Amino acid sequence: MAGWLEQLLGKKDKSAEQAKERLKLVLIHDRTDLTPHQLEVMKNELLEVISRHVAIDPSAVKIDMAQDGREQRLIADIPLKPANARRR
């Protein structure tokens, strides 16, 4: 029953799905020539600059590469801390 449901709902353990997920990541890095390590370094530098001007919660920040057709985008989602939190 569980196996049957899994087959119907989730394709996670299918090898084609794994191939697709692995390729997604590989292609992003092939296209941009940016390694996951370099992305991490860039993210930390960006956070440093931004927090010099506004208060942010580093753990809430999301910076990732995304695919848009054949173009790559760097998407940053940086929630700001409320102003009263900043005054304290």
Q: Are the C-beta atoms of 61 and 77 separated by less than 8 Å?
A: yes
- Alpha carbons 74 and 60: distance in angstroms, whole number: 17
What minimum distance in Å lies between the beta carbon of 7 and another protein?
9
Which residue, 27 or 55, is less far from another protein as judged by CB? Answer: 27
What minimum distance in Å lies between the beta carbon of 71 and another protein?
9
**16 sits near another protein (criterion: CB under 8 A):** yes
Q: How many helices (H) and strands (E) does the chain have?
A: 4, 2
Q: Are the C-beta atoms of 29 and 35 separated by less than 8 Å?
A: yes
**6 sits near another protein (criterion: CB under 8 A):** no
The one-letter amino acid code at 5 reads L
**73 sits near another protein (criterion: CB under 8 A):** no
Q: Are the C-beta atoms of 65 and 28 separated by less than 8 Å?
A: yes
Residues 18-47, interacting with another protein (CB under 8 A): 19-20, 22-24, 26-27, 30-31
Residue numbers at the binding site for another protein (CB under 8 A): 11, 14-17, 19-20, 22-24, 26-27, 30-31, 67, 69-70
